Amino acid sequence: MSAAASAAGHEEVPHRGVLTLCVMLATIMQALDTTIANVALPYMQGNLSATQDQINWVLTSYIVAAAIVTPVTGFIVARFGRKRVFLLSVAGFTVASMLCGMAASLPQMVLFRLLQGVFGAPLVPMSQSVLLDSYPKEKHGSAMAMWGVGVMVGPILGPVLGGWLTEAYNWRFVFYINLPVGILTFMGLSAFLSDSKRNAVRFDWFGFVCLSVMIGALQMMLDRGEQIDWFSSTEIVIETALTILAGYLFIVHTLTARNPFLDPRIFADRNFNVGLVFIFIVGVILLATLALLTPYLQNLMGFPVITAGIILGPRGVGTMIAMMIVGRVISKIDARYLVLLGLILTIWVLWEMVGYTPDVSQFTLIMNGIVQGLGLGFMFVPLSTITFATLPSEFRTQGTALFSLTRNIGSSIGISLVSFLLTRNTQVVHASLTEHVTPYNLALKIPRIAEHWDIGSTSGLAALNSEITRQATVIAYGDDFKLMMYVAIVAIPGLLLLRGPKRKDEPMEAILE
């Protein structure tokens, strides 16, 4: 089919505006649940009589289930049809959310979160695929801007909404809120979503098992590593070995099997490959930065959860503003320039964050959050557009699943890395600072200092140690922000590997060659 015919076919999609709204609701519903439950964990812990280690399984079960099921989206859509799978996913996710809200014990909660992850996994890649199929090629930028609002703003606003619901009502409403959204989404998709062509494809069980073991073991390792001291734990060593072995078997099987689970031809597209690398980096920067800022505001600056959420909220406003701008200009400006602008804004804000102290003003926090939101918006939408600009439509559902999976893995790796470095660097800096606490340090003999930190008394030493720990933690946070900045800087040369957008007079066939 020619580009013109394809565009014409897209123009004939009925009720496209309502369909877009329903797809966005599905995206927001799933994206919110990646972070909204975090705030409610302490309340769940007391209500469900769980230890700190046990309650973390509420998050781990959801993440692992979603990571394993996401790559299967392409197969189940091809086998059973887009509409049936989408409706089943929305219905299952909504019912699982209600069950989570009604859970009376920790095993029930973990089981229902597993179900939530299973049914929620296809929502984001299918939403992206539906929008790409519903809009003509020249409007893909606008479509990805609308889709990106849910994907990027959901995790940012999750803690805000979760904190408010938990404080104002009950932690169970963190899950109950999905009921009205799920019903509206299901009704809209039932009425306006068209089905896709079905293919009697053969399922590659060996490839699926290898990929599932690799992803599941990797997610478990990343999620539990900090809790059980990484490689000093036998569990982490086993999970690492499983990740490497299953990954090796999956790669060899994919390259040698006749009908592999993941079609290797999808990686023949350069834009798609480079796009996966960039979305991995976006995943690292987005949620890893949030994972650092939330405890920074609460533990070091002493803000209550609601105030911390309000300060982080404007970050989502910046993202939405950037996406609205990008949706209007992406057809006129090279997408690579927009990604570069997003990286520069992100680098600038992270450099500002390196110098944060507990005395930083709320105005500075909010303004830097807005600018970082702008940077993420300018990166995400053009990147989503250019990644799929030259990918054949037959690989679109499989490609969007890989796109979402890569972003989630990037987020998991980023959060685990910064959490590990925060703990380690705090200890290293603390040890370095305590070397200067001696009776011969004249600074400690200054009257106003000695009054608070008298090293000759137990209470004075305890107070001094508390302040040293606080200062060491501030420095460790700065080191993590600096690492995120370096990650963004290193990504800039990768823009040279992306192909520019197709010229209007260039036929689609030339792009796909």
The CATH number covering residue 513 comes to 1.20.1250.20
Q: Following CA atoms 154, 156, 158, 164 in sequence, which dihedral angle do they give, to the nearest 10 degrees?
A: -130
Q: Are residues 138 and 231 in the same domain?
A: no
pLDDT digits (tens, 9 = 90+) for 36-62: 776 677 778 777 777 766 776 777 778
Position 259 pLDDT exceeds 50: yes
Measured CA to CA, the distance from residue 359 to residue 356 in angstroms comes to 8
Is residue 280 within 8 A of residue 410, CB to CB? The reply is yes
Q: Are residues 345 and 228 in the same domain?
A: no
Q: Are residues 379 and 297 in the same domain?
A: yes
Q: Using 50, 70 and 90 to split pLDDT, how confident is the model at 228?
A: confident
Is residue 195 within 8 A of residue 82, CB to CB? The reply is yes
Last-in-domain residue among 156, 187, 202:
202
Instruction: Report CA 443 to chain centroid distance, whole Å.
Output: 46
pLDDT of residue 350: 92
**pTM of the entire predicted model:** 0.73
Measured CA to CA, the distance from residue 278 to residue 357 in angstroms comes to 30
Q: Using 50, 70 and 90 to split pLDDT, how confident is the model at 452?
A: low
Domain region containing 172: 10-202
Measured CA to CA, the distance from residue 415 to residue 130 in angstroms comes to 30
Residues of the chain above pLDDT 70, percent: 83
Q: Is residue 357 part of a domain?
A: yes
DSSP secondary structure code for residue 298 in this structure: I
Nearest to 379 by CA among 265, 282, 287: 282
pLDDT of residue 3: 38
Measured CA to CA, the distance from residue 214 to residue 216 in angstroms comes to 6
Measured CA to CA, the distance from residue 10 to residue 468 in angstroms comes to 62
pLDDT of residue 345: 92
Average pLDDT over the chain, rounded to an integer: 78
- Average pLDDT over every residue of 353-382: 87
Q: Is residue 134 part of a domain?
A: yes
Q: Are residues 103 and 133 in the same domain?
A: yes
CB atoms within 10 A of CB 451: 9
Q: Are residues 55 and 181 in the same domain?
A: yes
Q: Are residues 238 and 274 in the same domain?
A: no
Position 209 pLDDT exceeds 60: yes
Structure tokens at 76: 């189940």
Is residue 125 within 8 A of residue 404, CB to CB? The reply is yes
Structure tokens at 235: 């569990």
Position 168 pLDDT exceeds 80: no
pLDDT of residue 200: 64
Q: What is the DSSP string of 237-284?
A: HHHHHHHHHHHHHHHHHHHH-SS-SS-GGGGG-HHHHHHHHHHHHHHH
Q: Are residues 233 and 184 in the same domain?
A: no
Residue linked to tokens 């959901």: 154
pLDDT of residue 440: 62
Measured CA to CA, the distance from residue 114 to residue 96 in angstroms comes to 9
Q: Using 50, 70 and 90 to split pLDDT, how confident is the model at 156?
A: low
- Average pLDDT over every residue of 374-388: 82
pLDDT digits (tens, 9 = 90+) for 274-321: 888 888 888 888 777 877 887 788 778 888 767 777 787 777 788 878
Q: Are residues 351 and 431 in the same domain?
A: yes
- Average pLDDT over every residue of 157-179: 80
Structure tokens at 432: 């370095």
Measured CA to CA, the distance from residue 186 to residue 182 in angstroms comes to 6
Residues of the chain above pLDDT 90, percent: 7
Q: Using 50, 70 and 90 to split pLDDT, how confident is the model at 245?
A: very high
Name the more confident of 434 and 422.
Answer: 422
Q: Using 50, 70 and 90 to split pLDDT, how confident is the model at 106?
A: confident
Q: Using 50, 70 and 90 to split pLDDT, how confident is the model at 507?
A: very low
Q: Is residue 5 part of a domain?
A: no
Calculate the alpha carbon distances from 31 to 278, 370, 483 in Å. 19, 20, 26
Measured CA to CA, the distance from residue 410 to residue 413 in angstroms comes to 5
Amino acid identity, position 12: E
Q: Is residue 4 part of a domain?
A: no
- Average pLDDT over every residue of 379-405: 80
Q: What is the DSSP string of 116-136?
A: HHHHHTTHHHHHHHHHHHHS-
pLDDT of residue 464: 74
Position 192 pLDDT exceeds 90: no
Q: Are residues 301 and 439 in the same domain?
A: yes
pLDDT digits (tens, 9 = 90+) for 263-277: 788 888 888 888 888
3-state secondary structure at position 2: coil
Measured CA to CA, the distance from residue 326 to residue 145 in angstroms comes to 7
Q: Are residues 336 and 252 in the same domain?
A: no
- Average pLDDT over every residue of 314-334: 79
Measured CA to CA, the distance from residue 39 to residue 298 in angstroms comes to 12
Q: Is residue 3 part of a domain?
A: no
Structure tokens at 267: 């990686």
Calculate the alpha carbon distances from 231 to 72, 227, 240, 416, 427 in Å. 31, 11, 9, 13, 18
Last-in-domain residue among 152, 178, 202:
202
pLDDT of residue 155: 67
Q: Which of 79-93, 303-317, 326-340, 371-385 has the lowest mean pLDDT?
A: 303-317
Position 513 pLDDT exceeds 70: no
Measured CA to CA, the distance from residue 201 to residue 78 in angstroms comes to 7
Q: Is residue 366 part of a domain?
A: yes
Q: Which of 173-177, 346-350, 461-465 has the highest mean pLDDT?
A: 346-350
Measured CA to CA, the distance from residue 147 to residue 132 in angstroms comes to 10
Position 153 pLDDT exceeds 60: yes
pLDDT digits (tens, 9 = 90+) for 125-138: 888 778 777 777 76
Q: Which of 161-165, 352-356, 458-462 has the highest mean pLDDT?
A: 352-356
Q: Are residues 57 and 137 in the same domain?
A: yes
Q: Is residue 57 part of a domain?
A: yes
Measured CA to CA, the distance from residue 371 to residue 391 in angstroms comes to 32
Q: Is residue 1 part of a domain?
A: no
Instruction: Report CA 203 to chain centroid distance, whole Å.
Output: 28
pLDDT of residue 141: 65
pLDDT of residue 93: 93
Measured CA to CA, the distance from residue 413 to residue 219 in angstroms comes to 9
Is residue 455 within 8 A of residue 461, CB to CB? The reply is yes
Q: Are residues 187 and 214 in the same domain?
A: no
3-state secondary structure at position 313: coil
Structure tokens at 307: 């105030």
Q: Using 50, 70 and 90 to split pLDDT, how confident is the model at 63?
A: confident
Structure tokens at 324: 């609205």
pLDDT of residue 13: 61
Q: Following CA atoms 187, 316, 291, 116 in sequence, which dihedral angle do they give, to the nearest 10 degrees?
A: 0
Q: Which of 143-157, 159-173, 185-199, 472-486 has the highest mean pLDDT?
A: 472-486
Is residue 318 within 8 A of residue 258, CB to CB? The reply is no
Number of domains in the chain: 3
Is residue 373 within 8 A of residue 318, CB to CB? The reply is yes
